[in-house]
Structure formats: structure tokens, C-alpha cells
Chains A and B, each alone.
Chain A
């Protein structure tokens, strides 16, 4: 049941995408109960997810970026 702080943080990140397993979530929640540092990280991680959602970010796909680079080479 005991996991390292680094592993707990990684599970925390996975959980931000809804991809942590129930076992990982159980391990994380147990960890959060006892370790303040991980709880702080978890709270910041949640905040980052909410900021990314609020910002409504857009990206250009990698294929489109490659096409852009090609066009620039032709200039």
C-alpha cells in the first residue's frame, strides 16, 4: 500500500485526466490523508486543470505545423 511521494504525484497527474485506476486512486487518497506536501501538489494540479479549461486553449496540430514550416521554406 505504501507508495513514494513521486509515485503519488504521478497518480495525481493521471487522475486529472480520469485515467488513474481505482487501486491507484485508493493509494493516492491514503497518501493525501497523511502527507501535506502531496496534498498541496494535488491542489495545485487541480487548479492547473481548471486554469487550462478556463483559458480555452487552442493548438495547431503537429501536421499543420510541419505544413507551415514547408511553406516558409518555399518563401
Chain B
């Protein structure tokens, strides 16, 4: 019996935001990232019969998404090739320096920070996915989308008191979930 089974009916609720954050960190375009997530789910459905159950469902979907991101850049690069700018290292004045040093500032910590922030973002999404669905929804609307209390209450048909109870429970659960690594 396989260790994991696919449950495509739950994919959007459980993994859409996680995959979206993974994609957006790589393509920096929200609409494109959404398309890639949708394509990932469709490709997952189509190749479900190949899933052996060795990897967790999310890991398997991330592997598909990675391929989608690579395919996207391949497509772009094949178009860009026609307008490629060539750098002639030998004729430049910086003899003895590595080409990489001219591209990236060796003293910059920007790269490390963005990797750590991505890791942090995925850890938070991981914990949000463990919350009851309505709590996760209210937390996302209030904290990530920054919606007003009134708009959320109207949209979900709840009163402000219910909303704050759910936000409070969600935050308490998130603090517990992230406690060991991030606090």
C-alpha cells in the first residue's frame, strides 16, 4: 500500500497558496504565478496515474511546479536569444576579475535575505494550511490581503466579535506551529 494518496478535490484548498508563494518567488509576476499553479494542478490530474505514493502530495505537486517554472524560462529564453547581448570579457578593463563579481555585489546580503524570506513565507503557509478552513480564510483576508473588518464580515456573514475570535485563534495556533524555528 502506498504511503501517500492523491486527493485532487482538496488540492486548491490545501496547496494553492503554498504553490502560489513558491511560484511568485521565482517568476515575480502574480498573474503568471497563478497560471503556473493552475497548470500544475491540471498536469497533476493528468499524470495522477504515475503517482507512486512515495512522496507526499505537496512535494509531488511542487516537483511539477518546478518543471513548469523551468519550462516558462526556457520559453522566454528561446524568444530572447534573438536579441542576446554578448559581453566580451577579454576586452574590458577589469582584467583578473571574475565575471560573476561584476554582476553580483559580493558584499550584498540581498540573496540570502530573499532565500530566508521565501523559506519563512513557505513555513507560514505550511502552518496556515493546518488551520481550520474558515480560520485560515479569515486570517488570510485580514492579515495578508489587509481587508477591512467590515468587508470581511459582510463577505463571510459573520460579526466583528466572531472575526476577532477566529483571528485570535488562528494567530495563537500559528505562534504554536512556528514556535520552535522562528521565535
Contacts and interface: CB of A to CB of B under 8 A. Distances in A.
Asked if A and B bind, the verdict is: yes
Contacts of A51: 120, 124, 178, 182
A36 interface: no
Interface string B130-149: 00000001001011110001
Contacts of A17: 142-143, 149, 167
Size category, B interface? 35 or more
A72 B117 contact: no
Contacts of A19: 149
A58 B165 contact: no
Given A51-B178, A60-B17, A13 B167 contact: yes
Nearest to B44: A72
Interface string A40-67: 0000110110011011111111101100
B12 interface: yes
Contacts of B38: 68, 71
Nearest to A16: B171
Contacts, number: 87
B interface, by DSSP: helix, strand, loop or mixed? helix
Nearest to A14: B164
A60 B37 contact: yes
B183 interface: yes
Contacts of A45: 171, 175
B121 A55 contact: yes
B140 to A, nearest CB: 5
Interface of B: 8, 11-13, 16-17, 20-21, 24, 30, 33-34, 37-38, 41-42, 45-46, 117, 120-121, 124-125, 137, 140, 142-145, 149, 164-165, 167-168, 171-172, 174-175, 178, 182-183
22 contacts: A16-B171, A17-B142, A19-B149, A44-B175, A45-B171, A47-B183, A51-B124, A52-B144, A54-B117, A55-B124, A57-B124, A57-B125, A58-B33, A59-B17, A59-B140, A65-B12, A65-B16, A71-B42, A72-B8, A72-B12, A75-B42, A75-B45
Interface of A: 9-10, 13-14, 16-17, 19, 44-45, 47-48, 51-52, 54-62, 64-65, 68-69, 71-72, 75
